[in-house]
Amino acid sequence: AQTVTQSQPEMSVQEAETVTLSCTYDTSESDYYLFWYKQPPSRQMILVIRQEAYKQQNATENRFSVNFQKAAKSFSLKISDSQLGDAAMYFCAYRLEGSGYALNFGKGTSLLVTP
């Protein structure tokens, strides 16, 4: 069974600083997709960044980047130049081959951004 583990229930970062959110996963597949989603309070879940396992290059989207370590099954999210609007729950997710290719989520990390 594929599992996704986020070991940091809460993280805090000061505005303009950098923070890294951790995620590990377990799978026997060789080709798969990993995602980071952001869920602001009472708002819609939105995609932050996506990584395809067969691509060795780490994905980057503006201030957001990942450190993908396939052998270690690690997929951390780095947020640079943190902004107040980055405060949210962040979920790491793995796309399941079964279950209609549904996303299997970690338990989430609550990110607090302080001025």
Q: Which residues bind other proteins (CB under 8 A)?
A: 33, 35, 37, 39, 43-47, 50, 52, 89, 91, 95, 99-105, 107-108, 110
Q: Which is nearer to other proteins, 14 or 110 (CB)?
A: 110
Q: CB of residue 104 vs other proteins: minimum separation in angstroms?
A: 8
3-state class percentages of the chain: helix first, strand second, coil last, to nearest 5: 5, 50, 45
Q: What number of other Cβ atoms are within 10 A of residue 106's Cβ? A: 24
Which C-beta is closer to other proteins: that of 15 or that of 61? 61
Minimum CB separation of residue 34 from other proteins in Å reads: 10
Neighbouring residues of 36: CB distance < 8 A, sequence distance ≥ 6: 21, 23, 47, 48, 49, 64, 66, 75, 77, 90, 91, 92, 93
Smallest separation, CB 16 to other proteins (Å): 27
Task: Give the shortest CB-57-to-other proteins separation in angstroms.
Answer: 18
Residue carrying the six token digits 């583990």: 5
Identity of the residue, 7 or 14, whose beta carbon is nearer to other proteins in the bound complex? 7
